Amino acid sequence: MRYEIFKQDAPNQPHSNVGSVHAPDAEMALMHARDVYGRRPNAVSMWAVPESEIYATSHEERTKNQEPRTKSQEPEAQGSRLKAQSSKLMAHGSSPTSYAVFRKTSQRRSMTYVAYAGTVEANTPEDAVTAAMHKFPNPTTFVWWVCPEAAISKTEAEATPSWFEPAKDKVYRQQAYYGDAARQSRRQRTELVSKLMGDETQDEA
């Protein structure tokens, strides 16, 4: 099964989607996620959600494709694989459920995709998106993801030191650790190019 992974970089920051992992259950998904997305010292917590529990919709889909699509109507290659494919997801519809809301609000280059905004109560995923639009208004929301809050598996707070802190000691994973060689090499390059171009002034710059 494929799990979408959300990583929190610091206690005051939202969990943001970093990618996915394949695992037979949520516990192993979190273990893989630590190895795949937690090798650098900027994680304090991770969440894993089965992709089948996530309802995803983009601003483009909501404005351009007014006809609702179901998974069977769309060619495999055409739409988000996350979208409305789970009967389990729809079965939540009978009574109000708490949905976690994630969204993408920027087009700037980034390592992460949708970030956690909060929760809404709704009967269906589509209602959850509508509720989220009211509760978390933002004129530049490009993508919404909602999933039942109960579908999120989380790393435990007590586990944080043993799971994420060892990455901090591995300073040789940081480029700054090799600073001397790199600085020397950059200086030599500048000197050589200056010499080749007969430009003495560059040395002083």
Partner 1 sequence: MTQATDITLKLAEFETRIARGEKIEPGDWMPDDYRKQLIRMISQHAHSEIVGMLPEGNYITRAPSLRRKMVLIAKVQDEGGHGQYLYHAAETLGISRDEMEQALLAGKAKYSSIFNYPTLNWADIGIIGWLVDGAAIKNQTMLAHCSYGPYSRAMVRICAEETFHQRQGKEMIVKYAQGTSNQRQMAQDALNRWWGPVLMMFGPHDSDSPNSEVLIRWGVKTQSNDTVRQLFLDEVVPELMAIGVQIPDPQLRFDAESKHWKHGPIDWAHFWQVVKGNGPMNKERLAARNQAHDNGAWVRDAVTAYASRK
Interface contacts to partner 1, rule CB under 8 A: 2, 18-25, 28, 35-37, 39-40, 56-58, 60-61, 64-65, 76-83, 104, 107, 109-113, 142-143, 170, 172-175, 177-178, 180-182, 184-186, 188-189, 191-193, 196-197
Q: How far is the CB of 58 from partner 1 (least distance, A)?
A: 5
Q: Nearest distance from residue 44's CB to partner 1, in Å?
A: 18
CB of 109 to partner 1, least distance (A): 6
Q: Which of 134, 51, 150, 48 is CA-nearest to residue 99? A: 150
Q: Rank residues 16 and 119 by Cβ distance to partner 1 and give the closer one.
A: 16
Residue with Cβ nearer partner 1 (21 or 117): 21
Of 21 and 120, the one with the shorter C-beta distance to partner 1 is 21
**Nearer residue to partner 1 within complex by CB, 111 or 157:** 111
Instruction: Tell me the three-class secondary structure of the chain, residue by residue.
Output: CEEEEEEECCCCCCCEEEEEEECCCHHHHHHHHHHHHCCCCCCCEEEEEEHHHCEEEEHHHHHHCCCCCCCCCCCCCCCCCCCCCCHHHHHHHHCCEEEEEEEECCCCCCCCCCEEEEEEEECCHHHHHHHHHHHCCCCCCCEEEEEEHHHCEECCHHHHHHHHCHHHHCHHHCHHHHHHHHHHHHHHHHHHHHHHCCCCHHHHC
Please report how close the Cβ of residue 19 comes to partner 1 at its closest, in angstroms: 4
Q: Which two tokens stand for residue 194?
A: 């200056």
Query: Cβ of residue 75: shortest distance to partner 1, in angstroms?
Result: 8
- In the block, tokens 């509508």 appear at 130
Q: How far is the CB of 201 from partner 1 (least distance, A)?
A: 15
Residues 45 and 71: beta-carbon distance below 8 Å: no
Name the residue nearer to partner 1 (CB basis): 23 or 46: 23
C-beta of 77 vs 91, nearer to partner 1 = 77
